[in-house]
Chains A and B, each alone.
Chain A
Amino acid sequence: MTDLWAGFAEAARLLITLDPDLTAIALRSLQVTLCALVIACAIALPLAAFLSVKRFRWRRAVIALLNALMGLPPVVVGLVVYVLLSRSGPLGVLGLLFTPSAMIIAQVIIIVPLIASVAHQSLRELWAEYHDLLISLNTTQCQRIVALLWDGRRALLTAALAGFGRGIGEVGAIMIVGGNIDNVTRVMTTAIALETGKGNFALALGLGFVLIALAILVNLAIHWLSRTETGRQW
């Protein structure tokens, strides 16, 4: 219990003094996860819409696979990405290992199935609603996908935020592919793991509380952004 209070105190100290290390690490966390989120959304959302509007032979298999991959163990993703990006691996020439790019790649792999699955759940319902009208209007496959993505954007926001949550709190994969290098690839979660390893529970907890606050802040910010946008529209 005393550790918990010390953690709160440490979190407060870090925030009040605007600790420069903390700021850098927090910004790097945001940078990595937001980049991964943008890329993952660009892949997962159209995929989810496509799976909703298009009937093809392997559709059910693909959906089942995506649902299964939601539980992908990050450590395994990290190892696979490490092996691929290692200098002795097939993509070694890119020199991406132990860079933020490697962490982004790992996070994209981890959150794409999650975002696609959650997005597909809601887009499937929307498609059931829109099906007759959009068929009647003689829309192309592409126009249907665009209509679903645009009109389902609020539900998709929830999917994206779920992905953000998984990404920003992830440690297993980015520890392996990022290497937790100070000032280069150290982010909130790997810093927490490091401080825990040193037995500095107060500092680790403090960082943890800051991470939670950061996640809440981003959620609120995105909701607020979406509300001002729809406010103008409607």
Chain B
Amino acid sequence: MVGALLPLTVRGAQVRRRGKRLIGPIDLVLDGQGVTIVIGPNGAGKSTLLQMLHGINRMSHGTLNWAVPADEARRRQAFVFQNPVMLRRSVQDNLAYPLRLNGASRSAARAAAQTWCTRIGLETAQTRAAMVLSRGEKQKLALARALITTPDLLFLDEPSASLDGGATRDIETLLKQAVADGTRVIMATHDMGQARRLARDVIFLRGGLIHETGTAPDFFDAPRTPEARAFLAGDIVE
């Protein structure tokens, strides 16, 4: 049995581009189970934070330590982008791709892809080009492609932005199942209803800094800072 990926410990992390600070300094310890929701106004640095933790956005300062070696940590996490990136292949081949990268045989990858196609309701579209799917179908496919390698940690960057209710519900159902199966989820969202439905705890980001953190009931019912209160009340916060 492999060791636990978490806790993740972040100390004094900063991301700077062309001399401008995007986020940080950030201090954070990530552990436990369930869903952590990252919220905050536009430009607060939610995407940058997720990408930095995932390792696809380089840190300028600070340290980031996993409970396992860094390259192993990368292999055990996945990322779903706000705009789903579809490989110009069939639905099935999109699902099979991460497995093939991990060295799975063609037949094993295909079998797993078929199972997931059924789970996300695309069993009749398996051989169609992923590019021609609707936006909701694409995002479900992107989520399934992230989950197919059963990652220990999953990042999602506003996965249900501009999706209709049905697709959003499908995404959340898949996420809850993944959490039940032991996947730790960190998700940025603008949808406060979704945040309340899924969150175990919350990170409120503002101006590239962690402004407030807390468990979901504490944060939503009794935010400590005036900015968090204003944000939850629907006021404009910068």
Interface positions of A (Cβ within 8 A of B) = 126, 129-130, 132-133, 135-139, 143, 147, 151-152, 233-234
Q: Which of A135, A143, A147, A234 contacts B87 (CB 8 A)?
A: A147
**Cβ of A130 and Cβ of B85 under 8 Å apart?**
yes
**Cβ of A132 and Cβ of B127 under 8 Å apart?**
no
**Cβ of B78 and Cβ of A136 under 8 Å apart?**
yes
A-B contact count (CB 8 A): 39
Main secondary structure of the interface of B (DSSP, over half): mixed
Compute how far the CA of A126 lies from the CA of B88 in the bound complex, rounded to whole angstroms: 9
Q: How many Å from the CB of A173 to the closest CB on chain B?
A: 36
**Cβ of A129 and Cβ of B85 under 8 Å apart?**
yes
- Chain A residues with CB under 8 A of B128: 234
B167 at the interface (CB under 8 A from A): no
Q: Which of B54, B78, B101, B129 contacts A139 (CB 8 A)?
A: B101
B231 at the interface (CB under 8 A from A): no
Compute how far the CA of A138 lies from the CA of B79 in the bound complex, rounded to whole angstroms: 11
| Residue among A136, A138, A147, A152 having the largest count of chain B Cβ atoms under 10 Å | A136
- Chain A residues with CB under 8 A of B54: 136
Compute how far the CA of A99 lies from the CA of B90 in the bound complex, rounded to whole angstroms: 45
Report 25 cross-chain contacts, Cβ distance below 8 Å, ordered by A residue: A129-B85, A130-B85, A132-B79, A132-B85, A133-B81, A133-B85, A133-B87, A135-B56, A136-B56, A136-B78, A136-B79, A137-B97, A137-B98, A137-B101, A138-B74, A143-B101, A147-B87, A147-B97, A151-B87, A151-B89, A152-B88, A233-B90, A233-B127, A234-B90, A234-B127
B106 at the interface (CB under 8 A from A): no
B61 at the interface (CB under 8 A from A): no
Q: How many Å from the CB of A200 to the closest CB on chain B?
A: 50
